[in-house]
Amino acid sequence: MSSVPHATSLRRAPVQRRSAERLARILDACAELLDEVGYDGLSTRAVAQRAGVPIGSVYRFFGNKRQMADALAQRNLERFSERVTERLGHIGDRGWRHAMNAVIDEYLDMKRTAPGFSLVDFGNQIPVGTRWAEPNHRVADRLTGLLSGHLGREADEDLRRTFLIAVETADALVHLAFRVAPEGDGKVIAELREMLGAYLARVLD
């Protein structure tokens, strides 16, 4: 996919196609190295070498590795949104339970397959071990926009709060599932679906 992080995460937004492709290579290299060496071992120089670009190209976009990781997290959110939208288009109007499972399935698939996602996801684990509120609010905002029309609901503050609670719950239990088992413990994931289903049934039915 060609998702580009929002310009606010970059020192300079790419304008030309060649610049956008270079940025994509930098973020791809960042993701690969996160899986290989972790956040502490990540460096802008190593990213430049892996991406095959001059170190100055990295600094044109990012002042440090934290900004680079945040841009990767924002790209992850864009790709997640695209994938959820595509899946919702395939399942059609089959109710909120199918929509909920589509969102969970796409998140789990990215958790298992997307390079660097296990450390960065949408931004709430960088630096490793910290938890801050903004990324889950970002995800809740995005899901409110994506799902309100699909559910036939107004994208108001009540729906946003509902999705924020669901996102916070899913975040905690998915991380537990992947601490228990490398591919995500199936029983914990089943409990997640059950809990979210019960909560959303009370709010959305």
Query: Where do the domains of the chain lie?
Result: 9-204
pLDDT at 2: 42
CA 13 to mean position of chain CA atoms: 20
CA 14 to mean position of chain CA atoms: 21
Q: pLDDT per residue over 98-126, tens digit each? A: 999 999 999 999 999 999 998 889 975 55
Question: Rounded CA gap, 157 and 99, in Å?
Answer: 20
pLDDT at 1: 40
What token pair was written down for 137?
């609010």
Fold of 9-204: Tetracycline Repressor; domain 2 (1.10.357)
Going by pLDDT thresholds of 50, 70 and 90, the confidence category of residue 7 is very low
- What is the helix (H) or strand (E) element at residue 120, kind and residue range? helix 117-120
Contacts 24+ apart (CB under 8 A), 174-180: 174/107, 174/108, 174/111, 178/111, 178/118
Q: pLDDT per residue over 121-165, tens digit each? A: 997 555 554 554 478 888 999 999 999 888 888 889 999 999 999
Taking phi over 0 as left and psi of -120 to 50 as alpha, with beta for the rest, 115 belongs to beta
One-letter identity of residue 49: Q
pLDDT above 70: residue 5 = no
Compute the CA torsion angle 148, 172, 202, 158 (nearest 10 deg): -40
**Per 3-state DSSP, what percentage of the chain is helix, strand, and coil (rounded to 5)?**
75, 0, 25
